[in-house]
Structure 1
Amino acid sequence: MSKLGVVEESWKFIDIFSLDDDMLAFVPEPVISLLFLYPLETSIENASLGVKDNSSNVVLIKQTVGNACGTIAILHAIAPNAESKTNLHFVCFVEHDGSLYELDGRKNAPVLHGSITTAGFLKDACNVVKKFITCLPGSVEFSLMGLCSDNN
């Protein structure tokens, strides 16, 4: 990330292994974004999990080449081969002006998931992730990473 201008000693990506509140307590705070990998399946694509926010001043980088969602998600978090086929997709969740947004390079606008509650960004974003997961019961093709403070 240092080549992108991020001071490595300040931030790091970590794996988030559980969405249970007890386990989320072990995630170093503050978490400023979540990168979420999920299967590209009709049940998720058709689920109404937020509202497009065309009026937002949140920066959304439009994905114009195939199989670049991980790179786009990393770019979203801090402000591959196009021909290979994949059935998985990365999105990024961020907080902006007190609201929770999903940034998906395949969409034309950020997706608003509402205001951040007193539970905080991490738990609110994980609640949205849980909604994605319930669209594919029995699937284990999910992964979640957080960009969090590296202040030991």
Structure 2
Amino acid sequence: MAEDFQSGWQLTESDPGVFSELLKRLGTPLVVDDLYSLDAAALSEHQPINAFIFLFKWIPTHQESMAGSYDQEFPGFFAHQVVNNACATLAVLNAIGNIPGLQMGTQLTDLIAFTTGMDPQTRGMAITSADWLREAHNALSPPSSIYLDDPDLKKTAEDAYHFIVYMPYMGALYEFDGLKDAPVTHGPYNEQGEGWVAKAREVIEARIATYPAGSLNFSLLALHEDPLPSLQKQLQELQTSGNDITASEVAERIERENNKRHRWDFENAMRRHNHFGLIHGLLLALAKGGELDAAKENAKKALAERRAKHGGADMDQD
């Protein structure tokens, strides 16, 4: 793979607001939400779910005992990851490229049409060469105006995290991993009950079980249709029919969704802002006041707590 600095693809936070903004820029009516459980009750609010996006700590030995089997003749959309840091966007494209009839923006529609018939490697190269897609990916990445390349500095190995996708396709559960040769099929699923979600739960829980007990080396996101349009339509129908009790419940859910979007908008606005000038000024003031060392230790403690809370997977680092 190319070096991070050379590829032009920047690190992306593993955050629902970031993914949902990317999906909006791609012209799709989809959003992403964090999942803290695969129980049916926890998934009910997000149904119907189109795909699970699974973030995990990448360990080379896991490739040797791969579950499922390669589908070398897979007829759908699949692209290899050919540059560093494009992992999040590649996972999103490998998911939405296999959702039949999905509304997409003109640029994405043209890109998918252009790559039809290409092998995964060539398709990955074509996708990551699209300037508009790279700009959409980088739009919410932290500013990168500081770049250190001092050969005298000792570089330490960092944990690598990687996004993959689990979703249904033609009656089977598939795994799309841009670092693997081909899509992986985990076999057919029962159409009754929870359908493909039940099969995905088994596969994902088995994968989680390969990590040490209590480890926080993974996270799970649900890719699903934006519920706001249907909720707003439902609210109007309930109000018209005079069903005030149910209308009140739907109105409360709409308020929760809107509050979540406002929070996403605020956090994304903060991500777009370059804080280096402010940080430089604060560091100078702390140094002059003799408080820099204490502030540094407090920052290390806060960072360790954040990594423990999020499983060390704040950024897409593969």
The Cα RMSD (Å) is 2.1
Equivalences, count: 146
What letter matches 1:16 in structure 2? L
Counterpart contact for 1:100–1:112, Cα < 8 Å: yes
Aligned with 2:224 (options 127, 148, 152): 148
Counterpart contact for 1:67–1:85, Cα < 8 Å: no
Displacement of 1:89 in angstroms is 0.7
2: CA distance between counterparts of 1:140 and 1:4? Answer: 31
1: CA distance between counterparts of 2:90 and 2:65? Answer: 22
1:98 aligned onto 2:167: no
Match of 1:108 in 2: 181
Counterpart contact for 1:31–1:121, Cα < 8 Å: no
What letter matches 1:63 in structure 2? Q
Q: Percent identity?
A: 32
Aligned positions of 1:68-87 closer than 5 A: 68-79=86-97, 86-87=159-160
Aligned with 2:200 (options 109, 125, 134): 125
Displacement of 1:52 in angstroms is 0.2
Counterpart contact for 2:46–2:222, Cα < 8 Å: no
The 4+ residue runs of structure 1 with deviation greater than 2 A are 19-24, 42-48, 149-152
Consecutive unaligned residues of structure 1, counting only runs of 5 or more, are: none
Displacement of 1:86 in angstroms is 4.5
Displacement of 1:74 in angstroms is 1.1
Counterpart contact for 1:43–1:135, Cα < 8 Å: no
2: CA distance between counterparts of 1:113 and 1:89? Answer: 19
Counterpart contact for 1:33–1:93, Cα < 8 Å: yes
What letter matches 1:2 in structure 2? K
Displacement of 1:22 in angstroms is 4.1
1:17 aligned onto 2:36: yes
1:54 aligned onto 2:129: no
1: CA distance between counterparts of 2:28 and 2:206? Answer: 31
- Cα deviations across residues 71-127 of structure 1 (Å, max 9, x unaligned)? 11111122179xx95511110112111111100001121000111223312222122
Higher relative contact order (CA 8 A, sep 6+): 1
Q: Give 3-state SS (helix, strand or coil) of 2:65's partner.
A: coil
Q: Give 3-state SS (helix, strand or coil) of 2:222's partner.
A: strand
What letter matches 1:130 in structure 2? E
Comparing both structures, which one devotes a greater share of its residues to strand?
Answer: 1
Q: Give 3-state SS (helix, strand or coil) of 1:46's partner.
A: helix
Q: TM-score, normalised by structure 1?
A: 0.85
What letter matches 1:34 in structure 2? F
1: CA distance between counterparts of 2:61 and 2:82? Answer: 23
2: CA distance between counterparts of 1:125 and 1:27? Answer: 18
What letter matches 2:50 in structure 1? I
Q: Which moved more, 1:115-124 or 1:98-107?
A: 115-124
1: CA distance between counterparts of 2:210 and 2:177? Answer: 18
Alignment CA distance shift 1:68-1:45 (3 Å)? same
Consecutive unaligned residues of structure 2, counting only runs of 5 or more, are: 1-22, 98-137, 142-156, 232-318
Q: Give 3-state SS (helix, strand or coil) of 2:197's partner.
A: helix
Displacement of 1:43 in angstroms is 4.4
2: CA distance between counterparts of 1:150 and 1:2? Answer: 10
What letter matches 1:46 in structure 2? E
Alignment CA distance shift 1:44-1:21 (3 Å)? farther
